[in-house]
Amino acid sequence: MILQSLIIALESLWANKMRSVLSMLGIIIGVGAVIAIVSVGTGSTQQVTSRIANLGSNMITVYPRTARGQGGRVSSGSSQEKFSLELADYMEKFCPSIIKVIPVKQVNGRLISGDINVNTTLLGTNLDYADVNNYEVDTGNFISKNDDQERRQVMVLGSQLAKDLFEDANPIGKRIKVNYDGQVYMFDVIGVMKEKGGSMGGDLDDRAYIPLSVSMDKLTNSDFVTSYIAQAASSEKAATAVNELKNFMVKFLNDENEEQFRIISQDEILDTVSSVTATMSIMLGGIAAISLLVGGIGIMNIMLVSVTERTREIGVRKALGARNAHILFQFLMESLNLTSFGGILGIGFGWGAAYFLSQYGNWPMVIAPLSIGLAFGFALFIGIFFGLYPAMKAAKMNPVDALRYE
């Protein structure tokens, strides 16, 4: 009986092609939206997470927290004055899950080459920095141990910064004037980094890298760093490493309430990113669900019209021996066909939209089978749910009244 009803329903849908397509539109858009949204959500999340992972999945950054006094002034005796070079060695020693700690001294200065001026961040660090960050030189060399020990005024440029200063010319061997705190220093360019893109705390490609010793002893004349980058032994050990670091800092700074320092791990950033995208997905998914619901109401509407229009047909079928169940299944199959064809077209449409958006947004195109199953299942459910009432109305018709209907 179900098979016959299916065939009858298909014939009738085919007879009303245009109307069938129009009434499917809501379902097509709804299903397409679900698939596109889920795909965009997972694709862009993957892109962001892979970028973050690219930074080195096991990196932990420790900053001094500038304790604020009343009126937002930095209170005196700041904890910054405890962030020394030696502290990096202590961290390595007391935190077994951490294999390396790199001190960073960051300053903002003006770079001058010929008549081009660029304000940028100068990052004082040592050769481990590039290593730990998965960050490689494109041409030339990164800062060496000797550069650091001998306080050579050398500089490695981020890829974008190199373009800004020298356009297409080879920057290596060029001299750059650095204006910092009213003083002028001369630096030799020894390398240019590969392109890396954005990351936590700004775009790496816009920065210049100089030896830590130069930044601390020559530029700032300070004994204290701006942050430490700690590398955990593995990404599995990252969480343990964060705890070890935290305990160490609490003891070292005698800072029970963690007011003087701040630890940021990749995990934490990933969590934030994924919770943001999850919220987005839920929101957009809600919109998609509503459009499916509206599509369902459209289906019900069209089915009610169809039942009324075909009252006479229902009467004839009953006169020829159709049972109520035959009529019920016929109309149920019709709405189910509408929503399942709509669902299939919607999958194609969503796929296309997801592909287009992934090209546009430059992230990997991911179509989760679950989202297809979910959207399609929901479409079928809507076909049954919204088709049931019109189908029951048709099935319950009195044959004589139906036959007399003009």
Partner 1 sequence: MSKVIQIEQLKKTYHLGKVEVEALRGVSFEINSGDFVSIMGPSGSGKSTLMHIIGCLDYPTEGKYFLSGQDVSKLNDNQLALFRNQKIGFVFQQFNLLPKATILKNVELPLTYNNTHSKNKKRLAVQALEEVGLGDRLKHRPNEISGGQKQRVAIARALINHPSIILADEPTGNLDSKTGGDIMEIIKKLHDDGNTIILVTHEPEIARYGKRIIYLKDGVIDRDEVIV
Q: Which residues bind partner 1 (CB under 8 A)?
A: 1, 4, 8, 11-12, 15, 312-313, 315-326, 398-400, 403
CA distances from 314 to 2, 104, 403 (A): 17, 82, 8
- For residue 243, give the H/E element and its range: helix 238-253
Which of 275/398 has CB closer to partner 1? Answer: 398
Which of 12/80 has CB closer to partner 1? Answer: 12
Alpha carbon distance 26, 379 (integer Å): 10
CA distances from 406 to 305, 310, 393, 401, 403 (A): 15, 10, 18, 10, 8
Min dist CB 283 to partner 1, Å, is: 44
Which of 4/279 has CB closer to partner 1? Answer: 4
Min dist CB 311 to partner 1, Å, is: 12
Min dist CB 33 to partner 1, Å, is: 33
Min dist CB 53 to partner 1, Å, is: 60
Amino acid at 145: K
Say which residues have a Cβ less than 8 Å from residue 17's Cβ, sequence separation at least 6: none
Alpha carbon distance 387, 302 (integer Å): 10
| Exposed e or buried b per residue across 165-193, where buried means at least 16 C-beta atoms within 10 angstroms of its C-beta | bbeeeebbebebebebeeeebebebbbbb
Which of 297/319 has CB closer to partner 1? Answer: 319
- Give yes or no for a contact between 35 and 28, defined as CB atoms under 8 angstroms apart: no
Min dist CB 340 to partner 1, Å, is: 22
Which of 173/321 has CB closer to partner 1? Answer: 321
Min dist CB 385 to partner 1, Å, is: 25
| CA within 13 Å, CB half, 390 | 28
Min dist CB 318 to partner 1, Å, is: 7
Alpha carbon distance 114, 108 (integer Å): 20
Min dist CB 324 to partner 1, Å, is: 6
Which of 331/378 has CB closer to partner 1? Answer: 331
Q: Which of 214, 219, 210, 216 is nearest to 142 (CA)?
A: 210
Min dist CB 388 to partner 1, Å, is: 19
Q: Which of 394, 399, 400 is nearest to 326 (CA)?
A: 394
Min dist CB 309 to partner 1, Å, is: 11
Which of 66/308 has CB closer to partner 1? Answer: 308
Which of 242/402 has CB closer to partner 1? Answer: 402
Which of 18/320 has CB closer to partner 1? Answer: 320
Beta bridge partners of 185: 178
Sign of CA dihedral 336, 339, 345, 351: negative
Which of 251/312 has CB closer to partner 1? Answer: 312
Amino acid at 211: P
Contacts of 185-189 spanning 24+ positions with Cβ under 8 A: 185/153, 185/218, 185/219, 186/153, 187/153, 187/154, 187/155, 188/152, 188/153, 188/154, 188/155, 189/140, 189/154, 189/155, 189/156, 189/157
